[in-house]
Amino acid sequence: MKKIIIVIMCMTLVGCAGNVGNEQIEEYNSFVREATSLKEETSSIPFDINVYYEQLVDEIVYRIIIDNPKEQIMNIKAVATHNYETEDIYPSVGIFEENLHLDPNKVDLEKNYVKGIILTGYIDYDGDLDNFDVEIKLLIEYNNTAGKNRKVYYKYQK
């Protein structure tokens, strides 16, 4: 069932974003490689990151919420990976669709200024949530107010 939903989501992405090109696929793969290999976290992160888990019948749903920016965060691209074996795509934003922006003083959906970003993913798991052990790695790339390209590396261990 989950694979059918993922195929539908991919078809929707292709339908919404036009044709997914090789450049987008390569950029996604590059983000996944970089996120997976990260060892250290960024010490000063200019927004909040929260991770939540929910247990379903045979899987865990994880949600990563990025919000409450301390400064203007423009052209956000992000991917979240985990340490479980999967054939699914990892949740991402800004790679297959238009970039989003976070601003502490503005929400304007027509111009892609949002209050927050949620990355949602699924991990096959039929055990108890209390025994669930996962490491989430998050790579976020953006432009700051001065137009400089910045990267944030974030790890969360449950």
pLDDT tens-place string over residues 48-66: 999 999 999 899 999 999 9
Q: What is the CATH number of domain 2-157?
A: 2.60.40
Q: Where are the domains of the chain?
A: 2-157
User: For residues 42 and 158, which has the higher predicted lDDT (pLDDT)?
Assistant: 42
Confidence of residue 87 (pLDDT cuts 50, 70, 90): confident
Which whole-number Å values give the CA distances from 78 to 4, 24, 124, 128, in the listed order?
24, 13, 22, 29
Residue 105 has pLDDT above 60, yes or no: yes
pTM recorded for the entire structure: 0.83
Across-strand partners of 65? 50, 118
Residues 29-41 as b or e (16 or more Cβ within 10 Å = b):
eebbebbeebeee
| Cα distance between residue 90 and residue 6, in whole Å | 11
